[in-house]
Every structure is written in structure tokens, then in C-alpha cells.
Amino acid sequence: METTKQLLKTTYKYVAVLYLFSMAVSVFWVEDYVPFIIGLTFGVVISVVNFFELARTVHQSVMLHPKKAHSYAIRHYFIRFLINAVVIFISIKAPYINIFGTIIGLLLIKFVIYFANLFNDKEYFKNIIRRKEGE
Amino acid sequence: MEQISTKALILACSAIGAGLAMIAGIGPGIGQGYAAGKGAEAVSKNPKSGKQSMMVMLLGAAVAETSGILALVVALIMLYGNPLVNMTGGTIIIMASAVGAGFSMIAGVGPGIGQGYAAGKATEAVGKRPKLQPMIVRTMFLGQAVAQTTGIYALIISLVLLFANPLVNLLK
């Protein structure tokens, strides 16, 4: 079984790969790619930090009473929310950062989580679409 | 009586729209809180499966945050990079579009709560049957991915109203 540390490591590894891929694609597809790459880097760094903070919150909250865990998780969610707000604000205001790069960077980790955990077993999907009338 | 400029009206409506968009931030908060409560419950019932429960909760909660980020993007674009200010055409349509763009983002409450609920239930299930963790995680993600779609539709409508408003052209 994967532990939280291993999960963080695996997720960060995939994020790094996707980040490099996005950077390479942006060089060919985005006209002014330097602000885009700065935005992408900014977004990825913050999302990685936020994911680490979320892991810490989860670790702490499971040790609390369910009601306390509820409010603790909400409090920490709003801290991360504020961090994201500051990052997006800076990206909109700073002319040397492309806001779309930052948004993609912030959401990159979500794609990684989806694809690394949802599409890692072909059998699961085969089982969903298999006809079961004859069984 | 003092005349109010059209630009001021559009800016005022953008402020309302930005505020409305931020309502979507509540959803992930409720969802994550629910997941955390369920996680604490699962670990207290079955401490042996604590690591697996935590992992499921972490993954589920991370995905549940997405709607909040999308709402933030729309609200901050409306405040600091508003494309409607320089738009020409029917002022009332532009004003309504600013409010509408914010309104549409309220849909993000649904995915936020729903994804958090799925994360909470999955955490609870892993606490009961740790051996089935991979299957439960995958099922949770499938449900969360489907739940996210309405939030993405809302984002698309909001961005269309802001950046490629078709209503202004209909007036010409």
C-alpha cells in the first residue's frame, strides 16, 4: 500500500513531467512564451506547496474529533484559498506573468491526480463496459 | 442630478458579479470539511487502516478544491482584468453579462460539495474495507470527474460572457 509520503513523491514526479511537457509545448504554441512559462512555473510551485499543506492538514485532522476535524479542514481550506487568490492577483497585475499560464500551473496537479489514479487500471474500465447479461 | 457614466455602471455590475462568483468558494470548504470529519471517524473506528484512509482523503480533498480555484479566477479577472470595460455596444447587456458571469460561477458550489462528499464516503469505505482501496479510489475519482463537469460548464459560460460575448453582436 502506498503511504502519503510515497503518494506525494509520485504525484510530484508526474507534475514535474507534465510541467516540462507543457513548457515544451508552450515554446511552439504560445507566441510570447516567456511570460507563459513564468506563469506556469509560478502556478506549479504554488499548487505543489498547497498540496503539501493539504497533506499536512489531512494528517492533523484525522487525529482530531470528527467535529473539530471538520472545522480544522475548513479553516485550512480557506488559507489555501487565500494563497491561490494572492497568486492569481499577482499574475493578473504583473505584466511579465501570463495569467493563463498560472491557471494551467495551478490546475496541473489536479490533472495528475485524476490521470495517475483513474486511468492506471485497464481492467476496471473493461469491467464497466463488459456486457453482463450472459453471466 | 449627477449623471452616472456607462463605464461606472459596468464596473458596479462587475463588482456584484465578482462577489457572486466567490459564493462558489463555499462548496469546496463544506466538502473538504465533510471529508475531514469522515476521515477522523474512519481512523478512530479502525486505526489500522489510518494510512489508507488518509491517502484517499488527501486525493479526494485535492480534487474538491478545483471549483474554488475556478471561481477565484473569474472573480479576480472581473476585478483586475475586466474585458467588459472596453466593450462597446448595449450598456445594459454588458452590465447584465457582468452579473451573469458571476452568477454562473455559483454552480461551482455543487461540484465542491459533491466531490467532498464523495471523498468523505470513500474515506469511510476504505476505513471499513482497506483491501479494496484501489477500487474505491478509482470509483471516487470517476464520480468526482463527472461531478466536476457542471463546474466546467459554468466556467465556460462565464468566460464566454466575459471574453466572447455573443449578445452584444446580436444588438447590431
Q: In this complex, do B57 and A107 lie within 8 Å of one another by their Cβ atoms? A: no
Would you call A90 an interface residue with chain B, using a CB distance cutoff of 8 Å?
no
- Chosen for mutation from B72, B79, B80, B152 (greatest number of chain A CBs closer than 10 Å) is B72
Which contacts (CB < 8 Å, 24+ apart) does range A8-15 have? A8/A51, A8/A52, A8/A55, A10/A116, A11/A51, A11/A109, A11/A112, A11/A113, A11/A116, A12/A48, A14/A112, A14/A115, A14/A116, A15/A44, A15/A47, A15/A48, A15/A108, A15/A109, A15/A112
Q: Domain extents for chain A? A: 2-129
Which residue ranges in chain A fall short of pLDDT 70? Answer: 1-2, 124-125, 128, 134-135
Closest CA in chain B for residue A72: B33
A72 vs B contacts (CB less than 8 Å): 36
In angstroms, the CA A119 to CA A133 distance is 26
How many whole angstroms separate alpha carbon B6 and alpha carbon B96? 13
- Residues B81-134 have pLDDT tens digits of 889 988 888 889 999 999 999 999 999 999 999 999 999 999 999 888 888 888
Cβ contact A96:A35 at 8 Å = yes
B36 → closest Cβ in A61, A92, A113? A61
HSE, side-chain direction, 13 A CA sphere, residue A97 = 19
B87 residue type, one letter: M
Element holding B64 (H helix, E strand): helix B50-64
**Residue A1's pLDDT is what?**
45
Other C-beta atoms lying within 10 Å of the C-beta of residue B70: 28
Predicted pLDDT of residue B160: 93
- Give all domains of chain B, ordered by start, each with its CATH number: 24-82+90-166 (1.20.120.610)
Q: Which residues of chain A lie closer than 8 angstroms to B138, CB-CB?
A: 117-118, 121, 124
pTM of the prediction?
0.85
Interface A–B counts its CB contacts (< 8 A) at 132
Q: Do B37 and A117 touch (CB under 8 A)?
A: no
pLDDT of residue A2: 57
